[in-house]
Structure 1
Amino acid sequence: MKRIENLYNELIKIYGDVGKWWPGTPEEIFVTAILTQNTNWKNVEKALKNIYKLTNPHDILKDLHKLSKEEIAKLIKPAGFFNIKADRLKNLLNFLAHYNFEVEKLKKYETYDLRKELLNIKGIGKETADSILLYALNKPILVVDTYTKRILERMYGIKENDYEKVQSIFHESYPRKTKLFQQLHGLIVEHAKAVCRKKPLCNQCKLSQKCFFKSS
C-alpha cells in the first residue's frame, strides 16, 4: 500500500504552510464549530458579524450564554438551521459554564476525557468535538470529514466510512503533534476544494501518487 506518511509533505509542497487553518480565538472556535455545520464559511462570517454587534471574540462564550435560544437563533440566522444550531450552541455553552468559560482550564484535561464529555453534549458529533479539541484546545487529534475520507479512498484505495477507523489510519501514520494535525487537516481540505472535488479536476492535480479514482 502507498505510504500515507507522504501525503503531508506532498500537500505542503503544493499549498505551502496553511498555519492553524481554522481562524479565530479559542473562544470563537467553540462557536464556529457549531455554526459551520452544514454550511459554508461565508455564512458563518455573516452570523459572526451579527454576534459581534453585541460582544467580541474573547467574551463571545459568556456573553452568548446570557442570551436565550431565541435570541441566539436570530443572531446566527445567516448560518442556516439556526434554531437547531441555537439549541446545540446553548447546550455547549451550558457545558462551558461549568468551567467558567476558562479555555485554559479545559486544556489541562486529557484529550479523550474531554472528547467523551463533548460527545455527551446533545448535538455535538465526532467531527465537531474533534474540531474543538484540535483547534480550540490544541489537542493532537485529527479531524475526519468528507474530504479526509474522499482523499483516503482516491489516493490510497481505502474506502472506509467508520470515523474512528479513518482517524486511526492517520494516527498510526503520523506522530501525534497538534500543529501537524492542524496543518494536515487544513491541507486536505484545501486540496479537496481546489482539485479533488466531488467531480474532480484530475488534470490539475499535482500529487505524484497514482489516484484510484474512476469516474462513473
Structure 2
Amino acid sequence: MTCRLDTAQVERVYERLFDAYGEQHWWPADTPFEVMLGAILTQNTSWQNVEKALDRLRGAVLLDAESLLSMPREVLADHLRPAGYYNLKAGRLAAFLAWYCEQGGYAALNALETAELRSGLLGVHGIGPETADDMLLYAFGRPVFVIDAYTRRLFGRLGMLPPDAPYESLRGAFEAAIPADARHYGEWHALIVAHAKSACRSRPVCAECPLRGLCPAALRQEAVGRPLYSN
C-alpha cells in the first residue's frame, strides 16, 4: 500500500500543534544511551514508569551497557518492575545490550549509515520498527519519522492517511512530505504525543482541539448540530 500526504496540509497541522503546545524539548532522557534504554522500556507503558525503572537501575549500578549486562537476569527484571512486563523487558534489554557491546558501543554504531544502523537494530530481539526509529531519531539524530499509535489515530481522524496502513508506508508518506531534518521530526513526534494526550484521545476532546477546523469528524459533528465531545 502506497500512502501520500499533501505537504501543505501537513504544514498546517504542524503550525496549529506548535501554536497550541509550543516546543516540546524531547526526548525526555539525559543521554543517548538512556534514550535507547527508554525506547525499549516504554513499550506498553508510560514514560513516568520508565523513569522509575531507570532510577532503580541507577541506584544499583552505573547506567552503562557493561554494568547492566553483567547484572543477573532476575535482578535486572526486578529493577524493571515499574515499567511492567519486567521479565519480558529484561530479556529484550539483555539482547540489546549484548548486541550494543558486540558492535562496539555508541561511537561505532553512530559511524554507520542510517539504513545499516536501522537494519542492525531491527535484527535485535524485541526491537520493532517504532522502537528502532525512536532510537535512530532521538539517540542518533537521524531524520527518521516515528510512527506510533497516536500518529495513526490523529491522521486517520483527519482523513489524511489510512490508520491501518503498514508501518513503512506511513513512514514513507511523512518522510516524502516533510523535508528530512532530525530536529524537526523529533518535534513533530513530540507534538503528536502531546496532542494525543490532551485532545485526540481514544474519546476525543473535540471542543478543545486546535485542529478542529481541519478534522472531518469534528466538522461532521458541527454540521448536524451535535455537541462536540469535551471534558
Given the alignment, which residue of 191, 203, 206 partners 2:207?
Answer: 203
Residue 131 of structure 2: aligned partner: 128
The total of aligned residue pairs comes to: 212
Flag the 1:184–1:168 CA change in 2: closer, same or farther, 3 A: same
Residue 80 of structure 1: aligned partner: 84
Residue 122 of structure 2: aligned partner: 119
AA in 2 matched with 1:112: A
**Runs of 4+ in structure 1 displaced over 3 angstroms?**
none
Residue 160 of structure 1: aligned partner: 163
Alpha-carbon distance in structure 1 between the residues aligned to 2:27 and 2:40: 17
Moved more, 124-133 or 23-32: 23-32
Alpha-carbon distance in structure 1 between the residues aligned to 2:42 and 2:103: 24
Would you say 1:91 and 2:98 are equivalent positions? Answer: no
Residue 61 of structure 1: aligned partner: 65
The CA deviation at 1:61 is: 2.1
TM-score if structure 2 supplies the norm length? 0.86
Given the alignment, which residue of 178, 181, 185 partners 1:177?
Answer: 181
RMSD value over aligned CA atoms? 1.7
Residue 140 of structure 1: aligned partner: 143
Alpha-carbon distance in structure 1 between the residues aligned to 2:20 and 2:27: 16
TM-score if structure 1 supplies the norm length? 0.92
Secondary structure at 1:53 match in 2: helix
The CA deviation at 1:11 is: 1.1
- Write out per-residue CA displacement over residues 70-89 of structure 1, whole angstroms, 9 at most, x where no aligned residue: 12101101111001000000
AA in 1 matched with 2:114: T
Moved more, 19-28 or 36-45: 19-28
Contact 1:33–1:132 (CA under 8 A) maintained in structure 2? yes
Secondary structure at 2:60 match in 1: coil
Would you say 1:51 and 2:57 are equivalent positions? Answer: yes
Secondary structure at 2:173 match in 1: helix
Would you say 1:15 and 2:21 are equivalent positions? Answer: yes
Q: Structure 2 regions of 5+ residues with no counterpart?
A: 1-5, 222-231
- Write out per-residue CA displacement over residues 138-173 of structure 1, whole angstroms, 9 at most, x where no aligned residue: 111011000011111112342232111111111011
Alpha-carbon distance in structure 2 between the residues aligned to 1:45 and 1:22: 9
User: Matched residues, percent identical?
Assistant: 37
Secondary structure at 1:203 match in 2: helix
